[in-house]
A = this chain, B = another copy of it.
Amino acid sequence: MGLREVKRQRTRRLIADKAFELFGDHGFGRTTVEQIAAAAEVGPSTLYRYFPTKETLVLEFVEDCLVDAITWYGEQSELDLPAGLQAVIERVLEQLATNPGRIQAVFELAAQAGSVSAHLNELIWRFRIDLTNELVRRMPTAAPQQAEFTAALSAGIAMSIIETVVRIWVENPATVDLKQLARAAMSRLRDGAIPLPEGTE
């Protein structure tokens, strides 16, 4: 990695950090991109070259966590479906726990700015698609139509667990442990302690 790349990373990080600082001080809506660029001592054009939208500034870390988890899962081949699902869930949570402050901040910003929330939900949705595809890849090819359907539901449930656990954790960060919470969710789901739709014909 040459000097060029080093500088790139430094600038990128500087911009994101300044952004969070300003967003934290004045709110997402009351901070302009120009202000962020000025604080990071770059031109607005440069900022846009690194972060295509204002929301990306906030959400890049979350996206990285999700991408990492999917990539990682794609490389695991010995896990069966249930074990794999548990593993991905925990991988995502581990990645997020890497920087709890950021996550906290992200959810605060999502609560105050609709567009951030919307883009966050979009990210989550894309992760769900990726996970679905990954699951399909691991399913018996006998029933292709069935597979996609089943995989989509499994992925949806996995995503629900992650979201629920994270949101609860965000609300009282000190008192709960992410992974522990997730395991509780999973085992209660398996025990039938979670009400499911009836499904009568």
Assign chain A's interface to a size class: 35 or more
With an 8 A cutoff between CB atoms, is A8 at the interface? no
Q: How far is the CA of A168 from the CA of B135 in the complex (A)?
A: 16
Which residues of A145-188 are within 8 A (CB) of B? 148-150, 152-154, 156-161, 163-164, 167-168, 183-188
Which residues of A59-90 are within 8 A (CB) of B? 81-83, 85-86, 89
B-contacting 9-mer, from A9-17, A18-26, A193-201: A193-201
B-contacting 9-mer, from A29-37, A40-48, A97-105, A113-121: A113-121
Instruction: Kindly list chain B residues whose C-beta atoms are within 8 Å of the C-beta of A161.
Output: 153, 156, 197
Contact of A199 among B167, B189, B199, B200 (CB under 8 A): B189
